[in-house]
């Protein structure tokens, strides 16, 4: 098997074998750009290396040295030569670019003798020793694993002693001394002499690059970016060109367009008399690329031509690394540049206008999840840089929020009513906090994970939320919070960056999101292409309005229980739950009816002729009850019963496994009055809109948690009875649909039966995932992380739909449902409805729509278009 490829054998298509860097070095060589010669050791070699227990093997070594010999032939130099030594770089390069995550070594091939040869051959001692000290440090850091600072201190000390600021001011004698001191560091730290055998150096460096695939930051980066662990990195061995030979030399990095805004202008930086890493490491402040025009107009013009050529060739914005040696330009790397969402959109749309790419390609160029950045208010990055970081948590819901810290929902609501911006700071959250969550700018919790209640709800609301900020101690009693020993009072202003999980001191100004300009254009293209309809999960007129602005085509899930948590209503709801007999319950429900009806009127009105699916009451009743002593006392007073009586009822309603307990349609089996009231509210609202506003609404009424046909039948009968009553009373005919959630595995596998009564299915993938895996959603956060770390699960199944298991159930149910009722409407309304990979799966299954939170609607529109391409 061939494990090593010369650059002139590679092409851009060979990324998975040669890594991105190697494949593009090959491609650029092929199209005749000035690329220093070299060869690539494949990703397969890296994997083989690990299979062999992290050992290089003889055949591979031989193959590497054969290619080295070829390179020596071409350059007329030899590795380790005393008169004219060849120096090489040993560069990592994986299939997907992981900028700065793995390691690279420059100037390999120098030793105590060849450095003299180098100095003679170039007649430049300073340059030779500058290269040597760089090499020892990089090799020491990457291969010998000696902390970088041990070398840096020596360099700094010398600069201090001489009272100079820049490396470039060091003389050759300084650099020679520094090299000696560096070797001393190696001796002290590792008990070895700095390796003088240049071939040994090459093998050690190659091995170190293989190993850097598994350094901690590379592992974390892969996890964050969904890059599989099994890919491995390639190693590029390339003859060196030198930007550090003097003032007609330099090195730099440029983007062919602005990666932050997308503006079509060359955007880059360079340094004179410097080598590779200096630019990004901030050793000196680099100069804007335009200045190169003044200093070396020919090299600059040559570089501009290369940029234009590369962008046209790859038909995408390029991120290009270059070096100038004695006014000669060399290209060392090109790749599709990483960019912000705003830049991605602007570049994609403008490239279509320029005739460079098609609309379809433009659609594929933007990462759907990235759009999230544009859908929440954001901080100005300049302002952020000036602010003080207090602590960090998990970035549960993106966005930016500033406000004064309050510790209870009531205090947040109160502050809000005074026109104050508030941040809700909690140890953890419960549904009772919802009011506070609505009224606050952002939520910060000390406990909890990304799937915690606070996180799910916050994402649903598009509210900035950071959870699990473990350094924070909250003391509700004294109304203070403590971070690392420092105490802050209630009302202290803080800012949350939901994109990073960073918590800052003080208020930071934000900018609000808009769906305008090129963003709008791209979305329109996506709409032309996609087959799936995009609905939204919305419970309030405000959410509904937002969803329509973002392009929602209907509501796929309106959770009626969320309407119950509102301050003015929760008391009535509690009264309803605690009723001692049917009469009392009906009485409470009668008070709820007009409130709920009004909600539906407003939501239907907002949605106009678009379809709305309303889900009847779902959660365990116990969730609505007070648990804090203080609240219980208040409620008992209100209800005119004793505290102990109330406590008894609360205790009676307590369940061991509430999520598998008395909830969903099971509630209606025991308390039919609840669903009767809700059906009435829905239909009366539709009738009022028809009568008064001439708006025809066809409500889709959805029964949650159905597991068997008989269950649905029983409830449907009761719903139809109520519906008929309402229609008769008002004398207005109204069409409506009755359907069901498919979220209990039994319902999925008997979907042919269920479809006899259900006119539509909506896959509730949160519960379906919970019940299919038997993972409690509220507890799984504690162990799922380790499942992912240990490669037992590729990804949290609550975030990305598990196609093999849960997906199979959905497919079975969809097929069975269609058997019974060919035109049955099929949709999905779990958190997965906004996840691009899950959306792709829904497209493949031929579902009619996905439904997601308002703030993910544009993401879903784009993902659905990508799925259709």
Residue ranges binding ligand ADP (CB under 6 A): 36, 89, 91, 100, 104, 106, 238, 240-241, 251, 276-277, 321, 323, 332-333
Query: Whole-number minimum distance, CB 576 to Mg ion, in Å?
Result: 21
Residue 204 CA from chain centroid, whole number: 36
What is the C-alpha separation between 600 and 203, in angstroms, rounded? 71
- Tokens 């019940």 belong to 771
Stretch that binds Mg ion, among 196-204, 229-237, 707-715, 736-744 (CB under 5 A): 736-744
Q: Tokens at residue 670, please? A: 């025991």
Query: Whole-number minimum distance, CB 243 to ligand ADP, in Å?
Result: 7
> Residue 70's closest CA among 2, 6, 1?
6
One of 453, 622, 832, 843 is an active-site residue; which one?
453
Contact characters 589-628, Mg ion, x per CB under 5 A: ----------------------------------------
Q: Please say whether the beta carbons of 737 and 701 come within 8 A.
A: yes
Select from Mg ion, ligand ADP, none the partner in contact with residue 251, using the beta carbon and a kind-dependent cut-off of 5 to 8 Å.
Answer: ligand ADP
Select from Mg ion, ligand ADP, none the partner in contact with residue 286, using the beta carbon and a kind-dependent cut-off of 5 to 8 Å.
Answer: none
Q: Please say whether the beta carbons of 560 and 614 come within 8 A.
A: yes
Q: Is 802 annotated as a binding residue?
A: no
Q: Please report which helix (H) or strand (E) contains residue 461, including its range.
A: helix 453-461
Nearer to Mg ion among residue 391 and residue 770 (C-beta): 770
Strand, helix or coil at 377? coil
What residue is closest to ligand ADP based on CB?
Answer: 276
Nearer to ligand ADP among residue 102 and residue 862 (C-beta): 102
What is the C-alpha separation between 205 and 142, in angstroms, rounded? 8
Q: Is 767 annotated as a binding residue?
A: yes
Catalytic-residue membership of 465 = no
Select from ligand ADP, Mg ion, none the partner in contact with residue 764, using the beta carbon and a kind-dependent cut-off of 5 to 8 Å.
Answer: Mg ion
Q: Is 766 annotated as a binding residue?
A: yes
Which one of 93, 377, 409, 764 is in contact with Mg ion (CB under 5 A)?
764
Q: Please say whether the beta carbons of 761 and 826 come within 8 A.
A: yes
Query: Whole-number minimum distance, CB 142 to Mg ion, in Å?
Result: 15
> Residue 533's closest CA among 558, 555, 556, 553?
553
Nearer to ligand ADP among residue 277 and residue 505 (C-beta): 277
Residue 282 CA from chain centroid, whole number: 28
One of 249, 464, 829, 852 is an active-site residue; which one?
829
Angle at 435 between CA 430 and CA 438, to 5 degrees: 105
Q: Please report which helix (H) or strand (E) contains residue 595, including its range.
A: helix 582-607
- Return the DSSP state at 376: S
Query: What is the maximum alpha-carbon separation in the chain?
Result: 104
Q: Are strands 502-505 and 389-392 parallel, antiparallel or unpaired?
A: antiparallel
**Residue 511 phi, psi (nearest 5):** -120, 145
333 binds Mg ion (CB under 5 A): yes
What is the C-alpha separation between 74 and 92, in angstroms, rounded? 23
Select from Mg ion, ligand ADP, none the partner in contact with residue 278, using the beta carbon and a kind-dependent cut-off of 5 to 8 Å.
Answer: none
Query: Whole-number minimum distance, CB 200 to ligand ADP, in Å?
Result: 20
What is the C-alpha separation between 709 and 631, in angstroms, rounded? 40
Angle between helices 765-773 and 808-820 (to 10 degrees): 120
Query: Whole-number minimum distance, CB 614 to Mg ion, in Å?
Result: 14
Q: Please say whether the beta carbons of 262 and 343 come within 8 A.
A: yes
What is the C-alpha separation between 502 and 495, in angstroms, rounded? 8
767 binds Mg ion (CB under 5 A): yes
Q: Is 91 annotated as a binding residue?
A: no
Nearer to ligand ADP among residue 240 and residue 521 (C-beta): 240
Nearer to ligand ADP among residue 157 and residue 217 (C-beta): 217
Which residues inside 832-861 make contact with Mg ion, applying CB under 5 A?
A: none
Sheet containing 328-336, strands listed edge to edge, beginning at the edge strand earlier in sequence: 287-288, 267-272, 250-255, 318-325, 328-336
398 binds Mg ion (CB under 5 A): no
What is the C-alpha separation between 397 and 400, in angstroms, rounded? 9
Q: Are strands 442-445 and 422-426 parallel, antiparallel or unpaired?
A: parallel
Query: Whole-number minimum distance, CB 105 to ligand ADP, in Å?
Result: 9
What is the C-alpha separation between 390 and 634, in angstroms, rounded? 37
Nearer to Mg ion among residue 427 and residue 799 (C-beta): 799
Select from Mg ion, ligand ADP, none the partner in contact with residue 767, using the beta carbon and a kind-dependent cut-off of 5 to 8 Å.
Answer: Mg ion
- Return the DSSP state at 848: S
Select from Mg ion, ligand ADP, none the partner in contact with residue 466, using the beta carbon and a kind-dependent cut-off of 5 to 8 Å.
Answer: none
Q: Please say whether the beta carbons of 473 and 487 come within 8 A.
A: no
Which residues inside 272-331 make contact with Mg ion, applying CB under 5 A?
A: 321
Query: Whole-number minimum distance, CB 106 to ligand ADP, in Å?
Result: 6
Query: Whole-number minimum distance, CB 239 to ligand ADP, in Å?
Result: 6
Select from Mg ion, ligand ADP, none the partner in contact with residue 332, using the beta carbon and a kind-dependent cut-off of 5 to 8 Å.
Answer: ligand ADP
Stretch that binds Mg ion, among 307-315, 397-405, 739-747, 801-809 (CB under 5 A): 739-747
What is the C-alpha separation between 210 and 235, in angstroms, rounded? 7
What is the C-alpha separation between 771 and 666, in angstroms, rounded? 16
Select from ligand ADP, Mg ion, none the partner in contact with residue 106, using the beta carbon and a kind-dependent cut-off of 5 to 8 Å.
Answer: ligand ADP
Query: Whole-number minimum distance, CB 107 to ligand ADP, in Å?
Result: 9
Nearer to Mg ion among residue 198 and residue 333 (C-beta): 333
Q: Is 615 annotated as a binding residue?
A: yes
**Residue 800 phi, psi (nearest 5):** -120, 125
Nearer to Mg ion among residue 311 and residue 743 (C-beta): 743
Nearer to Mg ion among residue 401 and residue 847 (C-beta): 847
Catalytic-residue membership of 829 = yes
Binding site for Mg ion (CB under 5 A): 321, 333, 743, 764, 767
- Binding-site residues for Mg(2+) sit at 743, 767
- Binding-site residues sit at 559, 615, 743, 764-767
Catalytic residues: 453, 829
- Binding-site residues for substrate sit at 559, 615, 743, 764-767
């Amino acid at each position: 098997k061939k494990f090593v490829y010369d650059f002139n054998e590679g092409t851009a298509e060979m990324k998975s074998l040669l890594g991105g860097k190697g494949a593009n070095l090959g491609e650029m060589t092929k199209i005749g750009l000035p690329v220093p010669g070299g060869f690539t050791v494949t990703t397969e070699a890296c994997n083989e290396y690990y299979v062999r227990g992290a050992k290089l093997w003889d055949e591979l070594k031989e193959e590497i040295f054969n290619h080295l010999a070829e390179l020596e032939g071409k350059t007329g130099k030899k590795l380790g030569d005393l008169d004219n030594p060849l120096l090489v770089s040993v560069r990592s390069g994986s299939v997907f670019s992981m900028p700065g995550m793995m390691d690279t070594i420059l100037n390999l091939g120098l030793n105590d003798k060849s450095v003299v040869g180098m100095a003679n051959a170039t007649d430049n001692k300073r340059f030779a020793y500058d290269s040597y000290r760089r090499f020892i440090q990089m090799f020491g850091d990457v291969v010998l694993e000696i902390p970088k600072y041990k070398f840096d201190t020596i360099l700094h000390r010398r600069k201090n002693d001489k009272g100079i600021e820049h490396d470039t001011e060091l003389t050759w004698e300084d650099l020679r001394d520094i090299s000696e001191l560096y070797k001393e560091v190696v001796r002290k730290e590792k008990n070895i002499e700095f390796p003088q055998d240049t071939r040994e150096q090459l093998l050690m460096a190659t091995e170190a690059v293989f190993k850097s695939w598994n350094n901690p930051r590379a592992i974390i980066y892969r996890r964050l970016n969904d890059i599989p662990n099994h890919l491995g990195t390639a190693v590029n061995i390339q003859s060196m060109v030198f930007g550090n030979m003097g003032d007609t030399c330099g090195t730099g990095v440029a983007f062919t367009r602005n990666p932050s805004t997308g503006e079509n202008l060359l955007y880059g930086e360079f340094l004179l008399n410097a080598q590779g890493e200096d630019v990004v490491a901030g050793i000196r402040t680099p100069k804007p690329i335009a200045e190169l025009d003044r200093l070396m107009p020919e090299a600059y013009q040559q570089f501009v031509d290369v940029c234009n050529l590369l962008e046209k060739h790859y038909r995408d914005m390029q991120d290009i690394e270059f070096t100038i040696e004695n006014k000669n330009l060399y290209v060392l790397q090109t790749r599709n540049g990483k960019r912000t969402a705003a830049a991605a959109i602007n570049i994609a749309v403008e490239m279509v206008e320029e005739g460079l790419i098609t609309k379809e390609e433009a659609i594929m160029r933007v990462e759907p999840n990235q759009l999230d950045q544009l859908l929440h208010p954001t901080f100005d990055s300049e302002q952020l840089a000036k602010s003080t970081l207090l602590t960090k948590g998990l970035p549960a819901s993106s966005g930016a929020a500033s406000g004064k810290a309050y510790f209870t929902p009531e205090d947040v609501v109160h502050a809000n009513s005074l026109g104050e911006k508030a941040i809700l700071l909690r140890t953890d959250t419960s549904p009772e906090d919802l009011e506070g969550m609505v009224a606050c700018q952002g939520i910060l919790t000390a406990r909890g994970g990304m799937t915690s209640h606070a996180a799910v709800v916050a994402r649903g609301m598009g509210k900035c939320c950071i959870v699990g900020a473990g350094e924070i101690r909250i003391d509700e009693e004294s109304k203070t919070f403590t971070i690392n020993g420092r105490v802050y009072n209630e009302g202290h202003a803080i800012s949350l960056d939901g994109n990073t999980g960073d918590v800052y001191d003080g208020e930071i100004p934000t900018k609000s999101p808009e769906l305008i300009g090129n963003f709008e254009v791209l979305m329109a293209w996506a709409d032309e292409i996609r087959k799936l309809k995009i609905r939204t999960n919305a419970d309030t007129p405000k959410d509904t309005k937002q969803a329509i602005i973002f392009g929602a085509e209907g509501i796929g899930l309106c959770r009626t229980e969320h309407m119950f948590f509102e301050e003015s209503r929760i008391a009535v709801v509690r009264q309803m739950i605690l009723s001692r007999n049917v009469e009392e319950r009906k009485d409470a429900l009668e008070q709820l009816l007009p409130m709920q009806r009004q909600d539906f009127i407003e939501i239907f009105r907002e949605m106009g002729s678009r379809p709305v699916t309303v889900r009847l009451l779902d959660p365990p009743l116990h969730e609505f009850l007070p648990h804090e002593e203080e609240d219980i006392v208040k409620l008992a007073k209100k209800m005119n019963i004793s505290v102990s009586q109330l406590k008894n009822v609360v205790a009676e309603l307590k369940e061991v496994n509430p999520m598998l307990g008395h909830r969903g349609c099971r509630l209606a089996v025991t308390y039919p009055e609840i669903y009767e009231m809700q059906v009435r509210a829905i239909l009366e609202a539709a009738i009022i809109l028809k009568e008064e506003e001439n708006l025809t609404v066809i409500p889709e009424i959805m029964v949650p948690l159905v597991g068997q046909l008989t269950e649905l039948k029983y409830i449907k009968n009761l719903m139809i009875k109520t519906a008929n009553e309402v229609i008769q009373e008002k004398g207005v005919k109204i069409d409506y649909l009755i359907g069901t959630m498919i979220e209990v595995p039994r319902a999925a596998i008997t979907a042919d039966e269920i479809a006899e009564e259900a006119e539509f299915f909506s896959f509730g993938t949160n519960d379906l995932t919970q019940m299919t895996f038997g993972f409690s959603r509220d507890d799984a956060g504690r162990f799922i992380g380790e499942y992912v770390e240990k490669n037992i699960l590729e990804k949290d199944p609550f975030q990305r739909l598990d196609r093999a298991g849960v997906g199979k159930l959905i497919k079975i149910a969809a097929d069975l449902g269609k058997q019974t009722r060919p035109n049955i409407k099929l949709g999905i309304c779990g958190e997965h409805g906004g996840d691009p990979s899950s959306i792709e799966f829904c497209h493949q299954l031929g579902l009619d729509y996905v439904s997601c939170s308002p703030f993910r609607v544009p993401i879903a529109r784009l993902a659905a278009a990508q799925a259709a391409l």
